[in-house]
Structure 1
């Protein structure tokens, strides 16, 4: 088994799509499901397959981001450069943080138009891409 993608329900599809494309995602495709509802499937350019789905259901109740979801984590190569690019694109990432100390990962946080939190992570040199068992040894 493997995780295919994360799916977010959004209140304004165009606004959310603008946010996520400014973040660096590209659109793979769309599915119209009727009554104005639809899905947009996204991925980062270097990813082989979809990693995010935006779901828009205009007739559904408001999005409740406080229902147990915490955040989405995205790995970046150079966080400082990424923060500059995002700021130039009109997004508002939080300042650079060092949660594991100066030799640990660098992080920053971003909030999408519906209030979903996104953690941007730059691993230290030599760290594998992602969290592995070695991180808990």
Structure 2
């Protein structure tokens, strides 16, 4: 088994698409289902398949972010370059943090138009992509 993608309900599909496109996602395709909703599948250009789905159900109205969801984590190559790009695109990322100390990952936080939190992560040199069992040994 493997995770296919994360799916978010959004209030305004065009506003969310503009945000996630500025973040670096590209649209893969849409499913238009009328009053039942609209699905928009996105991925980063280097990803082989969809990694994010935006779900818009116009009849449901405004989306309230629930208390069970915490955040989406996105790996970036160079956090300072990413923050510069996002700021130039009109987004408002937070300051760089070092949650694991000076030799650990660098992070920054961003919030999408519906209030979903996004953690941007730059791993230190030599660290494998993502979190693996080696991080706990």
- Please classify the TM superposition score into its range, dividing by the shorter chain length: over 0.9
- The aligned counterpart of 2:54 is 54
In 1, the alpha carbon distance for the partners of 2:18 and 2:61 equals 22
Unpaired stretches in structure 2, ≥5 consecutive residues: none
More off after superposition, 72-81 vs 30-39: 30-39
CA distance in structure 2 between the partners assigned to 1:65 and 1:101 by the alignment: 31
Give the TM-score normalised by structure 1: 0.97
CA-CA distance at 1:47 after TM superposition? 0.3
In 1: Cα distance, 2:66 partner to 2:5 partner: 20
Q: Do structure 1's residue 92 and structure 2's residue 92 form an aligned pair?
A: yes
- Are 1:15 and 2:20 counterparts? no
- What is the CA-CA distance between 1:62 and the residue it aligns to? 3.1
Q: Deviations over 1:73-129 (max 9, x none)?
A: 000000000000000000000001111111000000000000000000000001000
1:29 counterpart = 2:26: no
CA–CA distance in structure 2, aligned partners of residues 14 and 84 of structure 1: 23
CA distance in 2, matches of 1:9, 1:28: 17
Secondary structure at the counterpart of residue 101 of structure 1? coil
TM-score norm. by structure 2 comes to 0.97
Distance 2:89 2:127 in 1: 29
Residue equivalent to 2:6: 6
**Number of paired residues?**
137
Instruction: Give the gaps of 5 or more residues in structure 1.
Output: none
Structure 1 partner of 2:41: 41
Q: Which has the higher helix share?
A: 2
Shift of 1:3: 0.2
